[in-house]
Structure formats: structure tokens, C-alpha cells
Amino acid sequence: MEGVLGDFITVLRKAGVRVSISESLDAVSAAQIMGYDNRRLFKEALAASLAKSHAEENIFDSCFESFFSFNFFQSPKKANTHNPEAYPEALKDQLSALVLKDDKGQLAALMTEAGRMANISSIKNPMQKSLFTMKILNQMGMPGMEAMVGQIKSSTGSGLSQQTAELLEKGRDDLVQTVKEYVEQQLQLNADGLDSKDQFLKTTPLSQIELRHFHRMDGLIQRLIRQLEDRHSRRLKTANRGKLDYKKTLRKSISYGGFLFAPLWKKKKENRPDVIVICDISRSVLQTVRFLMLFIYGLNKRIGKIHTFIFYSNMIDASYIFDRYSIEEALSKITSDPSLPIIRGKSDYNTMFTNFRDHHLHLSTKNTTVVILGDARNNFNPPRAEVLKAIGERCKRLIWLNPETKPFWGTGDSEIKTYAPYCHLLQECNTLVHLERVVGTLLSARR
């Protein structure tokens, strides 16, 4: 069992949990003291030794449930009603005997040990699944069981012998499927390192991100924000070229006796754009709204003023909510606060455009970027594209982010193709990669 625990600790490390040698030894000791029969106590003993923070506890729970998903600690199921001794030769083969007795516990142990012998922890690529499945089956003794089935079928025994062959064939098929699932599980666990996990989250549709990944997503977004800030701040550093700043150069030259050893150049003024964000908060878009807001408000040092509007059947100014509360609290309020004067019916882009033009268009200037996040499904209301055109002419840039994939644009009640000519940028936006690209474009426009 120590070998199994060692593999589990390796999986934890790949998932981002820091485990020292002493903590590994503590986990082994705790497992030996608590025993392996009670799954809950076994899990708690390992967690006490290996998970040292709330974030690590979440990772530990996920890894434990995946790694020990074959119920190693349950008692074997009831044996087959067929008496395996009807063909005693079959009992001479270990795998055949376990299949005939339906000993799930021993089969699971045999499969796990075969996986270790096949070095299953080295699997990294889905293309390797068939190879490792074959290795594990061979290590478990599948060739011997196949030979036993052939031997029984070729014999001229009784009907019970033929029944034994049928049971072995059915057990073989079940075992092959179980080993395939085991290999798939190991692929997910061992390819679940920090880099691959981050890449997986960056390319997963935002609407499909599970709640347990939100903490990791938040950290990933913060890291992307720092990268974007570093990338764009370097472009604004003083370069050894451009227009000479005569006053500063002469003042600096005094310390060199009047010699112009250190010419200084005029700095380029940083232009921080104002941003107006208009978000559809219907259920299909809400999760994308969450991550967009994390990006936008995380870059408030690089952006001027931020105005946030949300709409359903009508539109309200929600800037004060995002200014006063954290993203989580703000999203909770805009989705469930009954005091908000928003009508939670069908999305109405007609009303939204008209409301913005009549009451908030003065916020838009030639230094303003308007970002609209929505699927443009107008529930067959008038599209009012001329109003969107007026908004686009007023601002510096109009960016539309559509969380739907492009094949669905313009289908049914989607008006996105009607709005497209009046957008400076129309972008499919349903992954973190898309958001990063759009926000990078937003920062590039400030120079």
C-alpha cells in the first residue's frame, strides 16, 4: 500500500500541492495507524498530513476522489452463482480464478499492481492509452485467461464447462473495459500538472468551468493580468530615441561640466482609456461576465474610468456595485438581489441600446472603448442597429464579445450579423484565451 500512497503523493505534487518528504512519511504513518478499511477515516488521515491550506484541501479532495475511485476498501461483491469448481482447470490460472469468483477486491489490487509494473504514472498523451491498456492486461495475466477460454471451448466437456467459458468471456470483456477506464483516470491524474491544468482551464469554455476550479481560475487571471501589465508597461519605458528634451539634458549636463554625456528624451504620455462595459446577465452568459469583470477591474491601474451596465429585459447602471463590493459579492447582487430595478425576463437589445443612447451616451468620448458582452439573441425584437451605429460613432472603439461559437451566429433570433458592420472588433469570446487576447487589444489601444 505504501507504493500506492507514493503514487498518490506524486499526483498531488503534479496538481500543485507541495508535499515534503517528512509530510509523505507522516501520511504513511497516519494511514497505517488509521487503517485502510474505513474510506472516510483514511481520507481524513491523509488530508491532515498533506493538505495545508484551503486551496490545497480542494485539490486534495479532487485528486483523492479520482485516484481512489475504484473503491479499494469495499468488500468483494457476491460471487457468481455458477460453481467455478465445475471446471477445476480454470482455477489453476490466477486471473481466471478471480474472474470466476468475482473477487472485485483482488482484481482491483491486481490491476493497481499491474499498473505500477507498467509504469502507468508516466502516461502523458491520449495516444498512449491503448499501449498502457495492453501492458496492464498482459501484466494481469490476460494471455493466460485467453488460453484457458480456448482450452475449455476446444474440450468435449459438459454444459457446465461451456458455461465456465462464457463466464470467462464476459469477465474478460468487463475487465478490459475496467482497465480502459483505469488508464483514462490515470491519464487525467498524471497529465494534471500545473502547466497542463492551466492550459486546460484557459481553453475550456467559461460556461463549463466547475465551481471547484474558480479559485485556480482567479489565480490564473491574476497572473495573466501581471503579464499584460508588464508587457505594456515595458513599451512605455523611456527609449534612447525620439525627441530630445533640451531642458532636462542641459540640467543633467551641469554635473559633467557642461558636456552632453547623458542626453534625455521626452517621455511619451500614457493615455489610459475609459471603458464602458455593457453585459447581458442571462444565465447563458453570466459566467463569462464574471471572468471579464475580473480582468477589467484587475487592470484598473492601466484603465481610466470604468462604467458597468447590466441588462436583461431592461438596463441599469451597476458601476456602484462593482466599485463597492468584490467581484463575487457584486455578481451575487446583480444575479439575486431583489432590490435591483432589473426585469429578469428575456434579453432585449432594442431596449438596452435605446436606454443607453437616451440616458448614458454622454459618458462616451473619443477616449472611450465600449465593450458589449452578449450573444445578440434579441428574442425577435427589432434589432435597432442604427442606435448601435450611433454609439459606435460616438466612442473611440466599439468591441462586441460573443460567447457563442461562430457556427451559431445569425441562427434563430441571433442578430449578431446585423450588428457586425458597426463594431470595430467582433470577437468570439468563451474561453480565457479569448479574454486575454481582447483585453490585450484594449490595452494596446491606449497608446
Domain ranges (residues) in the chain: 2-68, 84-190, 238-269, 274-444
Specify the pLDDT at position 134: 94
C-alpha cell at 441: 487589444
First to last CA, the chain: 61
Q: Cα 148 to chain center, whole Å?
A: 46
Confidence of residue 416 (pLDDT cuts 50, 70, 90): very high
Q: Cα 11 to chain center, whole Å?
A: 18
**Angle, alpha carbons 418-370-213 (nearest 5°):** 95
Confidence of residue 240 (pLDDT cuts 50, 70, 90): low
pLDDT tens digit string along 80-93? 545 555 556 666 78
**Angle, alpha carbons 340-341-344 (nearest 5°):** 90
Count the residues in the chain. 447
Residue owning grid cell 476446444 = 154
Comparing 418 with 53, which gets the higher pLDDT? 418
Which of 359, 357, 434 lies closest to 399 in space, CA to CA? 434
Confidence of residue 395 (pLDDT cuts 50, 70, 90): very high
Specify the pLDDT at position 236: 53
Confidence of residue 75 (pLDDT cuts 50, 70, 90): very low
Q: Which of 46-50, 397-401, 423-427 has the lowest mean pLDDT?
A: 46-50
Average pLDDT over residues 117-142: 87
Under DSSP, the state recorded for 404 is S
Q: Cα 108 to chain center, whole Å?
A: 30
CA distance to 123, 398, 414, 424, per residue, from 404 (Å): 34, 18, 10, 19
Residue 405 above 50 pLDDT? yes
Comparing 261 with 23, which gets the higher pLDDT? 23
- Starting at the earlier edge strand, list the strands of the sheet with 397-402: 315-317, 306-311, 274-280, 368-373, 397-402, 425-428
Residue 156 above 90 pLDDT? no
Confidence of residue 73 (pLDDT cuts 50, 70, 90): very low
Specify the pLDDT at position 369: 93
Under DSSP, the state recorded for 268 is P
AA identity, residue 135: K
Confidence of residue 167 (pLDDT cuts 50, 70, 90): confident
H helix intervals, 51-93: 54-67
Question: Which class would CATH give 274-444?
Answer: alpha beta
Q: How many CB atoms lie within 10 A of CB 123?
A: 22
C-alpha cell at 131: 499501449
Most confident of 61-75, 201-215, 255-269, 414-428: 414-428
AA identity, residue 379: N
Q: Which of 19-28, 85-94, 390-399 has the lowest mean pLDDT?
A: 85-94
Q: Cα 267 to chain center, whole Å?
A: 41
Q: Which of 135-149, 197-211, 352-366 has the lowest mean pLDDT?
A: 197-211
Phi then psi for residue 277, to 5 deg, are -110, 125
Residue 232 above 70 pLDDT? no
Specify the pLDDT at position 226: 81
HSE, CB side, 13 Å, CA atoms: give it for residue 216: 23
Which of 349, 346, 344 lies closest to 376 in space, CA to CA? 349
Give the SS3 label for residue 121.
Answer: helix
Q: Cα 434 to chain center, whole Å?
A: 14
Specify the pLDDT at position 445: 57
Specify the pLDDT at position 79: 45
